[in-house]
Amino acid sequence: MRIVWCLWCCLLGYLPLKATGDSLHYLSPKDTLQLVVDEWQQKYVIHYLEKGQTLYSLARFYGLRLTELLTWNPEWRTDVLPQGAAIRIPLPDEALVCYRPPSFADSAHVPVYYRIRKHDTFYGLSKRLFHMDADTILARNPFLNDGLKPGQLIHVGWLSIHGIPDSLRRRRRHPLWQESYELRDRFLAEAMSRPVSTQKGAAYWNRDSDNFRSLFALHDAAPRGSIIAITNPMTRRQVFVKVIGKVPESPFFDNVIVVVSPAVAKMLGAIDPRFFVEVEFFK
């Protein structure tokens, strides 16, 4: 009865969803995770730091480098973190268990909930956010038969209490993706000591070029030879590349903030010669 009552309170939003684990385990079956989706459709969950837990071991548990974890949590770049500090953990789609396989064990998983937002739709939830059929979402949350209402907490899946393996974060083994991963590590290491600037706007690539072997970009504000992060919010892909120069003055590049090689464009999932991106760089 206590379990049913707690679940009911969670659905009504009366109880906070918290995942803390303990000094020996970062997640336990008694925890509950809330999944958050930011403006770029990137998913993350919140872990509340418990006594005996450190950012370094927390990063390893969730398959992250410490520099990556600090990039997601710049406010915690401090020597001493208070118990209960809220740490954002990026969640790869493959880590969320949306369907229960025959070997599924409740004791080895933590339930994950999502809070309905104002403009959410069944189509968006099933096709864009969670890649699961709407019937499964309804079966797991029968109260949604009355429609979606902002603020509702819905059960969308589970996360293993054993954390997230690094292999889920580095799925692509193509040489160019490996190069991007290496540049990412250098970018994140530099971000620990330098402020990162952000710019949003149009990117351009030449669809007539056959250069699909090189990662490079042209950018006005980032110095030549520096590393920048380029994100396509439509595909949720991010590529790290070196800047080889500034954007040339040309009618082709009016209102363009970055020019990328065809390889970068394809890795980002671009189709049109102009597409919207977010660029992170060091001045």
Asked whether the predicted pLDDT for residue 5 surpasses 60, the reply is: no
pLDDT, position 224: 95
**DSSP character at residue 191:** H
CB-count burial class (<10 Å; 0-12, 13-18, 19+) for 80: exposed
Asked whether the predicted pLDDT for residue 198 surpasses 50, the reply is: yes
In whole angstroms, what is the distance from residue 225 CA to residue 227 CA? 7
Question: 197-204 and 256-260: which strand pairing?
Answer: parallel
Torsion over CA: 28, 41, 115, 16 (sign): positive
Quick one: pLDDT band at residue 257, thresholds 50, 70, 90? very high
**DSSP character at residue 150:** T
Quick one: pLDDT band at residue 55, thresholds 50, 70, 90? confident
Asked whether the predicted pLDDT for residue 243 surpasses 60, the reply is: yes
In whole angstroms, what is the distance from residue 22 CA to residue 7 CA? 21
* H-state helical runs in the chain: 2-12, 55-61, 66-72, 122-123, 134-140, 175-191, 262-267
**Residue-wise over 192-222: b if at least 16 C-beta within 10 A, else e?**
eeeebeebeebbbbeeeeeeeeebebbbebb
What is the Cα Rg of the chain in Å? 21
pLDDT, position 41: 67
Domains of the chain as residue ranges with CATH: 2-168 (no CATH), 175-281 (2.40.40.10)
pLDDT, position 64: 86
Task: Please state the separation of Cα 207 from the chain's center in Å.
Answer: 29
**DSSP character at residue 124:** I
Pick the most confident of 52-56, 64-68, 147-151. Answer: 147-151
Q: Within 10 A of 12 (CB to CB), how many other CB atoms are there?
A: 12
In whole angstroms, what is the distance from residue 126 CA to residue 147 CA? 14
CA angle (80 as vertex; 74, 85 as ends), nearest 5: 60
In whole angstroms, what is the distance from residue 156 CA to residue 122 CA? 12
pLDDT, position 10: 44
Question: Which tens digit of pLDDT belongs to each residue from 71-122?
Answer: 778 788 766 778 888 999 988 888 999 999 899 999 999 999 999 998 899 9
What is the mean predicted confidence (pLDDT) over 173-185? 80
Q: Higher pLDDT residue, 213 or 45? A: 45
In whole angstroms, what is the distance from residue 11 CA to residue 89 CA? 22
CB-count burial class (<10 Å; 0-12, 13-18, 19+) for 251: exposed
CB 90 within 8 A of CB 45: no
* pTM for the predicted model, two decimal places: 0.59
Question: Which tens digit of pLDDT belongs to each residue from 140-163?
Answer: 999 999 999 999 999 999 999 999
